Amino acid sequence: MFFLILILTFFLNYRPILASDRNIFGLHLAEVSDIDSASKIINSKEGDWGYVTIVIRLDQLDKNTWQDFFDKCRQNHVIPIIRLSTIMIDNYWKKPEISDIDNLANFLDSLNWPVKNRYIVLFNEVNHGSEWGGETDIKNYADTALYTIDKFKSLNPDFFVLGGAIDLAAPENPPQFKSAPNFLREIYLYKPEYYDKIDGWASHSYPNHGFVGLPSQSGQHSIRGYQWELSQIKSFGVTKEYPVFITETGWPHREGQKNDNKYYTADTSAKFLISAIKIWESDNRVIAVTPFIYNFPFPPFDHFSWVNSDMKIYPKYQQIIDTPKKQNNPPQITSYKIRFNYLPFILFPNREYLGQIILENTGQSIWSEKPFCLKPQASDNISLEPICTDNSVTKPGQSQTFNYKMTINQITNDKQTFISWENLPPLEISPIKGLGKLYSPKLSLKDKLSQFIRNLLN
């Protein structure tokens, strides 16, 4: 009995380690135009579906630009994490108004995202006054965050909302700064439901102070800063478990526009980051890590940039690129609609016919990357083939033509005769009045005209 209890206790408390099953690696981008070159790093060495964090601003809501970015994320197998932002006024970021939130939400909902989970971050380091209208305002941030969550979720439940990452090294000096412990506590005291409503935890786990800490260190000012954050809110009474997204981290290097000896060499910074990735991978709560920043070779972030002023990767960072990576398999929505369904006007029983159906890809996946077959759904008196993709690349918004064979096996005047496939509307095939042994597909006027033109051309 003792051993039985021991075994049951083990399994009840067992949490599988997923480190070998996921790819946490990614990069933080400054520009959408960097996605093609950055993806080669993110998914280097057998990696697949890594992550990218990027900021979206109120004055940059161009649908063509962002849909092109998402399409390239899809094509290059990169999962985007979008951090919400407003516009810069003088030396601070404008405090978002309700109309700003609505604009951001409606815009992002209008885009076709590359994967099912639509990751967004609720603004940036708002324990800095410069990030929130010129002064810290925890109550206003909490109210705005809760409205933002509800707004995005009302548009689409696939929005996966991460709490805004804070500066873990900020001092307690209001209104310019709020320390991390006080910020987290005051949100809980004012609106504890904030912690219930966010889906995940975004963290800026830097090796502070001064970005020169070691990978082995722990605590609030370390690469394990997220652990300290989660421990803090747990001490308040928060019981929810969060997936963790480290959207900023990394060691600056002394190479830049001006050699700064207070930082490590690029070689040491790269080696430290490799060690840190191994540490984060061992914690199954960590889903993504996007070091700051891929391409920003100018002050004030030239020492963080992976790319130099000649637009080339610092050679020592190649060792990170060459580190083996894992693969993700994120869920994608597969959907489609009929553009055209062709069958001859007159159909005889017991004769095989060749039909064609054109489907538009209205989902997120690229047909041909994964098997795509639709099972036939037809009335009992019809034999119908499944339709399957060939090797043709069919991206969302594009269409593909499928050939199929069908046969009416017997005449049934008392039952509906139709053909269809999974999740598609049926096409009724009706007996021709007065000629009970002949059938005709019940097409829309549009399809009849299309078919008439098609027959003329053939």
The reply to whether 8 falls in a domain is no
Q: How many CA atoms lie within 13 A of 416 on its CB side?
A: 8
Is there a single domain that holds both residue 123 and residue 152?
A: yes
- Report the pLDDT value the prediction gives residue 414, as an integer from 0 to 100: 64
Q: What local confidence, expressed as pLDDT, does residue 11 receive?
A: 36
Q: Residues 353, 432: one domain?
A: yes
Q: What is the pTM of this model?
A: 0.91
Q: Which of 192, 200, 202 is nearest to 233 (CA)?
A: 192
Q: Quick one: 315 and 423 in the same domain?
A: no
Which of 88, 87, 82, 180 minimizes the C-alpha distance to 126?
180
441 assigned to some structural domain: yes
Is there a domain that residue 3 lies in? no
Asked whether residue 78 is domain-assigned, the answer is yes
- Structural domains of the chain, count: 2
Q: According to the model, what pLDDT value does residue 185 have?
A: 98
Q: How many helices (H) and strands (E) does the chain have?
A: 11, 19
Q: Indicate whether 285 belongs to any domain.
A: yes
Host domain of residue 359? 336-457
Residues 274 and 388 in one domain: no
152/231 same-domain check: yes
pLDDT of residue 249: 98
Say which CATH number the domain at 280 has: 3.20.20.80
Per-residue pLDDT tens, the chain, 458 aa: give them: 433 333 333 333 333 334 448 999 999 999 999 999 999 999 999 999 999 999 999 999 999 999 999 999 999 999 999 999 999 999 999 999 999 999 999 999 999 999 999 999 999 999 999 999 999 999 999 999 999 999 999 999 999 999 999 999 999 999 999 999 999 999 999 999 999 999 999 999 999 999 999 999 999 999 999 999 999 999 999 999 999 999 999 999 999 888 888 999 999 999 999 999 999 999 999 999 999 999 999 999 999 999 999 999 999 999 999 999 999 999 999 999 999 999 998 999 999 999 999 999 999 999 989 888 999 999 999 999 999 988 889 999 999 999 999 999 977 666 788 999 999 999 999 888 766 678 889 876 666 666 656 655 55
DSSP for 217-263, please give it: --STTSTTHHHHHHHHHHHHT------EEEEE----BS-SSS--TTS
How many residues comprise the chain?
Answer: 458
The pLDDT value recorded for residue 13 is: 38
Residue ending a domain, choose from 321, 353, 382: 321
- CB of 54 within 8 A of CB of 28? yes
Residues 345 and 250 in one domain: no
Q: Which pLDDT value is given to residue 439?
A: 87
Residue 9 resides in a domain: no
Q: Under a CB-based contact definition with an 8 Å cutoff, are residues 58 and 87 in contact?
A: yes
Question: Nearest 5 degrees, angle CA 225-CA 227-CA 228?
Answer: 65
pLDDT of residue 449: 66
Does residue 23 belong to any structural domain of this protein?
yes
Same domain, yes or no, for 155 and 224?
A: yes
C-alpha 457, offset from chain centre = 44
219 and 247 co-located in one domain: yes
CATH code of the domain in which 364 resides: 2.60.40
Beta strands at 159-163 and 118-121: parallel, antiparallel or unpaired: parallel
* Residue 77, in any domain of the structure: yes
CA atoms within 13 A on the CB side of 377: 10
Structure tokens at 387: 């339709």
Q: Determine the Cα–Cα distance for residues 278 and 285; give it in Å rounded to an integer.
A: 13
